[in-house]
Amino acid sequence: MDKEAFVKNTAHELGFSDCRFAKADFLAKEAPLFEDWLKKKYNAEMHWLENHFDLRMDPRKLHTGTKTVISLSFPYQPEDDSLSIHPPKIARYAYGRDYHKVLKKKLKALLLSMKEEFGEINGRAFVDSGPVHERAWAQRSGLGWIGKNSLILSKNAGSYFFLAEVLVDLSLTPDTPTTDHCGSCTRCIDACPTDAIVDNQVIDSSKCISYLTIELKDALPDEFTDKLNGWAFGCDICQDVCPWNRFSKPHSEVEFNPHPDLKSMKSSEWLEITEAVFNERLGNTPLKRAGFERFKNNIGKALLE
């Protein structure tokens, strides 16, 4: 088995739905686009995105010796997505255990297998962490293309999947980038209740429901109080309407299953949720990012619409 096949087979055995390679290089096309996005303040209060620009645009500076960027996808579409249908709605990616921890463990296992197979190699894994331009590398490697909603879309898997990367000092034959298959479709743009998609592949975070319910530290601006569409954490609207998500497949990762009590909670129980219950049932999920006070405030707004 050649190196490329070994890495891909191992990744699939660990549960990743796809694994592709791209040659580590400077992101010449993406750099000015990202810089312009920052200048327009579309990152809102997410100021950390302004840091380490040179590392974000060149993985060889982020991890010395990097020759290949391995991009991987891992599905999170639940079998039962009722928590994203009935208010207070929770984005599908946040049902179960914090994906950072789950996927980082799998990436470490992948790196260990590679070292056992190829000898001493030097690699570093990332899961939505560190200054990595993950969508750019996912597109370059052929995992999918960047849709008008700025998410990676796959003809075979839609967009309900996490992205992860491994920077490694191992030369692997690059895969071929895929072409754009959005065409003239504008369903995601038309469906966004806050007009957060301001241009093709360009999001104004300050208008995005995901940002407003998770990252925003101040009070929700009045102009958005009646536009949350029942969302209490995150938002899947632009993915729900995407035609390519008819091809998304449910995950089989036990750790991404929700706490058994969540599906049976009534509106009154959500409104009366205590910090102790939040910590017990949601403390190990991505919802901890918002924190108890923000999440409870979101619940009130989501249920009063």
Residue type, 282: L
Say how far apart CA 228 and CA 11 lie, in whole Å: 37
Token reading at 32 = 């000015």
Say how far apart CA 92 and CA 77 lie, in whole Å: 6
Say how far apart CA 290 and CA 41 lie, in whole Å: 21
Q: Return the DSSP state at 89.
A: E
Determine whether 240 is an active site residue: no
Say how far apart CA 142 and CA 45 lie, in whole Å: 31
Say how far apart CA 195 and CA 191 lie, in whole Å: 8
Say how far apart CA 251 and CA 274 lie, in whole Å: 30
> How many C-beta atoms lie closer than 10 Å to residue 9's C-beta?
13
How far apart, in Å, do the first and last CA atoms of the chain sit?
Answer: 57
Kind plus residue range of the DSSP H or E element containing 126:
strand 123-126
What are the residues whose beta carbons fall under 8 Å from the beta carbon of 45, sequence distance 6 or more? 215, 216, 217
Q: Which residues pair with 166 in a beta bridge?
A: 70, 125
Q: Which of 25, 81, 128, 240 is catalytic?
A: 128
Q: Which residues are catalytic?
A: 128
